[in-house]
């Protein structure tokens, strides 16, 4: 098997501070063999003497970053503004499956080598995961939850995860696990599904508690979709591991920040995936229209206000030491796949350091997702998943958009 010795300007190894100047990465399809500082230390002759065929790639003007991890996406959603209800009523499951495949490929080409799908039609995400694992289609590694646990008629019920009462919830968690779920997603509060009280509770405390307990019994992590302060308070009464969105919102959508609850998150070791840029692509698009209709203006104002409030919550949570991992909510609304840098840029504007942001999209996410033995880091023993970027992402996190090459399991993708 041919092996490759890659020389680059710098290697970010996935740890918070790890920066290797004049980096040398030695890898083959089985994984990373060595990571060394100093081009002169490239062990070409050592491997050749051992009878290996060695290819040397000189890329001294690029930075190397571990393959990115997007910890919140919806593969089944087209990301063109179509609502979930519309997707399931106007598209066949075959078409939805193709959309999911396209999304996965799009993410991979942008350097995202691991995706955590936070909810979809179970058949679609489980099938895609298995097709990628078999090598039938190209895509990132997937961590999937199948259908999120929701109440009858509750938020994102069209993904197929309706259950009421503790018995049904327990059974649904067990079914998802049987299908191959890597984690459990609990829809604790409402959201933008037709007929749902947006900021209302979607499940009761005993129901949420029971889903979390059942996940833990099965050695799975549980994360909750939460879009209100009431929801944050409720899930923090359980042993939940992660929170998606974690909006500190009152019933009317105004900011209702509770410092004590944020501190409680820190104390409990909870990781938040806030999906900061979920509405940003739409705000950007509407912002560019010269002569907006009254309806467009109304939508633009509403979403701009939503963003403003979200950024305020995010800033305060950073100040209070809440721990974040990177997630886009790609697929939802008009949010595209592969644009992880865009959300990270927003987080940087709210006060997070580039160092911490890069970590939140690589090693930290891998640690939290339980995949760091192989993913998230550039060190011996890990898979050779990485991207080459033209400019230094530690100087400006949006440099992650300047992707030159992507490698997955040691194979060049682009
Ligand atoms: Zn989502």
Query: pLDDT digits over 221-235, tens only?
Result: 999 999 999 999 999
Q: How far is the CA of 266 from the centre of ligand 1 (A)?
A: 22
- pLDDT for the residue 17: 85
Instruction: State how far the alpha carbon of 44 is from the alpha carbons of 5, 39, 41, in Å.
Output: 7, 11, 9
Q: How far is the CA of 213 from the centre of ligand 1 (A)?
A: 22
- pLDDT for the residue 361: 98
Residue 74 confidence (pLDDT) above 80: yes
Q: Give just the sign of the alpha carbon dihedral 253, 259, 261, 265.
A: positive
Q: How far is the CA of 74 from the centre of ligand 1 (A)?
A: 6
Q: How far is the CA of 125 from the centre of ligand 1 (A)?
A: 14
Radius of gyration of the chain (CA): 21
Q: How far is the CA of 234 from the centre of ligand 1 (A)?
A: 19
pLDDT band with cut points at 50, 70 and 90 for residue 18: confident
Residue 332 confidence (pLDDT) above 80: yes
d(CA 74, CA 103): 9
Residue 414 confidence (pLDDT) above 80: no
- pLDDT for the residue 338: 93
Query: pLDDT digits over 350-407, tens only?
Result: 999 999 999 999 999 999 999 999 999 999 999 999 999 999 999 999 999 999 999 9
What structural domains does the chain harbor? 3-66+374-412 (2.30.40.10), 68-338 (3.20.20.140)
Average pLDDT, the chain: 97
Query: pLDDT digits over 94-150, tens only?
Result: 999 999 999 999 999 999 999 999 999 999 999 999 999 999 999 999 999 999 999
d(CA 245, CA 116): 15
List all residues 6 or more positions away from 178 whose beta carbon is below 8 Å from its beta carbon.
none
Q: How far is the CA of 54 from the centre of ligand 1 (A)?
A: 44
Proportion of the chain above pLDDT 90, given as a percent: 99
Judge contact between 230 and 202, C-beta under 8 A: no
Q: Give just the sign of the alpha carbon dihedral 102, 159, 286, 311.
A: negative
Q: How far is the CA of 73 from the centre of ligand 1 (A)?
A: 6
d(CA 229, CA 221): 22
Nearest to 186 by CA among 221, 237, 229: 221
Query: pLDDT digits over 28-49, tens only?
Result: 999 999 999 999 999 999 999 9
Q: How far is the CA of 72 from the centre of ligand 1 (A)?
A: 6
Q: How far is the CA of 124 from the centre of ligand 1 (A)?
A: 16
Q: How far is the CA of 241 from the centre of ligand 1 (A)?
A: 17
Judge contact between 337 and 331, C-beta under 8 A: yes
- pLDDT for the residue 1: 80
Two structure tokens written together for 264:
């409680």
Q: How far is the CA of 355 from the centre of ligand 1 (A)?
A: 25
């Amino acid at each position: 098997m041919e092996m490759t010795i890659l020389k680059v300007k710098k290697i970010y190894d996935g740890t918070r501070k790890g920066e290797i100047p004049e980096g040398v990465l030695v890898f083959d399809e089985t994984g990373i063999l060595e990571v060394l500082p100093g081009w002169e230390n490239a062990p070409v002759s050592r491997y050749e003497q051992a009878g290996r065929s060695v290819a040397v790639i000189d890329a001294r003007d690029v930075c190397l970053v571990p393959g990115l991890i997007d910890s919140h996406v919806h593969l089944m959603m087209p990301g063109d503004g179509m609502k979930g209800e519309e997707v399931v009523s106007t598209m066949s499951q075959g078409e939805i499956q193709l959309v999911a495949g396209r999304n996965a490929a799009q993410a991979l080409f942008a350097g995202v080598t691991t995706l955590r799908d936070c909810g979809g039609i179970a058949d679609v995400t489980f099938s895609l995961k298995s097709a990628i694992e078999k090598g039938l289609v190209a895509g990132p590694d997937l961590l999937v939850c199948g259908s999120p646990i929701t109440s009858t008629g509750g938020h994102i019920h069209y993904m197929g995860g309706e259950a009421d009462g503790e018995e049904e919830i327990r059974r649904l968690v067990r079914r998802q696990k049987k299908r191959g779920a890597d984690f459990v997603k609990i829809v604790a509060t409402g959201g933008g599904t037709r007929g749902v009280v947006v900021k209302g509770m979607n499940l009761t405390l005993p129901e949420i508690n029971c889903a979390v307990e059942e996940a833990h019994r099965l050695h799975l992590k549980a994360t909750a979709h939460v879009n209100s302060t009431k929801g944050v308070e409720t899930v923090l009464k359980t042993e939940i591991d992660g929170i998606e969105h974690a909006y500190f919102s009152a019933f009317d959508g105004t900011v209702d920040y509770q410092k004590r609850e944020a501190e409680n998150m820190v104390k409990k070791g909870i990781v938040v995936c806030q999906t900061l840029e979920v509405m940003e692509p739409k705000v950007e698009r509407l912002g560019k229209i010269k002569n907006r209709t009254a309806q467009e203006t109304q939508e633009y104002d509403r979403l701009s206000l939503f963003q403003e409030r979200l950024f305020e919550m995010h800033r305060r949570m950073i100040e209070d030491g809440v721990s974040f991992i990177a997630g886009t909510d790609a697929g939802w609304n008009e949010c595209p796949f592969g644009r992880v840098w865009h959300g990270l840029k927003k987080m940087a504007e709210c006060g997070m350091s580039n160092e911490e942001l890069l970590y939140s999209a690589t090693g930290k996410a891998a640690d939290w997702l339980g995949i760091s033995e192989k993913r998230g880091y550039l060190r011996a023993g890990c898979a050779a998943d990485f991207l080459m970027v033209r400019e230094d992402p530690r100087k400006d996190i949006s440099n992650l958009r300047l992707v030159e090459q992507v490698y997955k399991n040691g194979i060049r993708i682009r």
